[in-house]
A and B are shown apart, each in its own frame.
Chain A
């Protein structure tokens, strides 16, 4: 691991210690929450108030400011979950296992939001709530993968075993990620093609684009906050018989 600078390596090494992780994240979350709040207010103001109505879609296009960031996050969180699961599988790092399973519920939430807001956007624009096309179907499979991960984890009592089983499922499911991403290029679909990631020439005006990017960053902060909250709960439950949790309880 000669590529990782020493202080960064040291930081990750310390974060793998449960009491340090619990204490550090407890102090980190308020800062992240303030940044998130600032970004989300700016993004919503830009998206709902400042951005002009779309010349084709009118004001219905404003669903983009939650639909697209959620859809991006549904993929991003899955990849984080699979990588964390893989790290837990190989190096048996308990905190990696916890980050993986704590990501699952947040990822499922983002996927659910992407599907529901997409449906609510599709109805006035396409005239239908749902079509069985490649983009929508592969995103629905992503939701089932997340629910599978959560269900499998809950079904196995020994949480170390459960984490290993979940990591394998998550890693196998990674095959779905490129399918979702390229579905609008590989197959004919009602879903519109990418508007933002064509970085050379995005087909969206800057006044509509900046709130979208701000919301995307805000959702990243949200993910870290929600995932850490879940991880802290998971950690104290798993470590309930350890000395540091007992000390934590006595100090209350």
Chain B
């Protein structure tokens, strides 16, 4: 099997690859978002702590 045949998915390329792409995007977003939020929150809190210590 060559690459072209693989991507063509027997004529169902649109349905198969859109399915996989949406799944990939949703699953990636759901694991990345909480990490970004946590980092942002930690940064804010560190600044808040510093302000409290030496106003």
Contacts and interface: CB of A to CB of B under 8 A. Distances in A.
Interface of A: 48-49, 53, 58-60, 62-63, 66-67, 70, 105-106, 109, 112-113, 116-117, 120-121, 123-124, 222, 225-226, 229-230, 232-234, 236-237, 240, 245-246, 249-250, 252
Interface of B: 1, 6, 9-12, 15-16, 18-20, 22-23, 26-27, 29-31, 34-35, 37-38, 41-42, 45-46, 49
A63 B16 CA distance: 6
Given A59-B10, A70-B23, A236 B38 contact: yes
Nearest to A69: B23
B26 A113 contact: yes
Contact of B42 (A62, A222, A249): A249
Contacts of A59: 9-12, 16
* A contacts with B: majority SS: helix
Contact of A58 (B12, B18, B23, B29): B12
A60 B9 contact: yes
A67 B35 contact: no
B41 A62 contact: no
Contacts of A49: 1, 6
Given A109-B30, A240-B45, 9 more contacts: A58-B10, A58-B12, A60-B16, A63-B16, A116-B22, A117-B19, A226-B27, A232-B38, A234-B34
